[in-house]
Amino acid sequence: MTSTNAAPTTTLWRPTGPEELELVRALDWRAWPPRLPEQPIFYPVLNEDYAIRIARDWNVKHDGAGYVTRFEIDTAFVARYPVRQAGGETILELWVPAEELDAFNAHIAGRIEVTHTFP
């Protein structure tokens, strides 16, 4: 958890492919794009290692490239989403319903940044 001049923030990561990353770029690195109909949940993850594994092992295989992004979000707001364990002890995600993504985006502090790129 980090603190800014405003409210405390929490760091989250999101593994993503090239198409989603282009949409984030088009949104000036400040928001995640709306989910597709077959994507009812937006899931950022709670640790960088897990995001790296998904971007490297899944996104590269399915999309030709994988990226790990990092962003800060208002801690009080994000507390409404329970942490989900998607596998092992460190495989932790937040499940944000697609219909709540606009509100989620409104609580992002600063910009979304790329921290790792995989060919």
* Sign of the Cα pseudo-torsion (106, 109, 114, 115, in order): negative
Mean pLDDT of the 57-85 span: 97
pLDDT tier, 46 (very low <50, low <70, confident <90, very high otherwise): very high
| pLDDT tens per residue, range 21-41 | 999 999 999 999 999 999 999
Query: How high is the pLDDT of residue 5?
Result: 60
Q: Report the distance separating Cα 13 and Cα 42, nearest Å.
A: 12
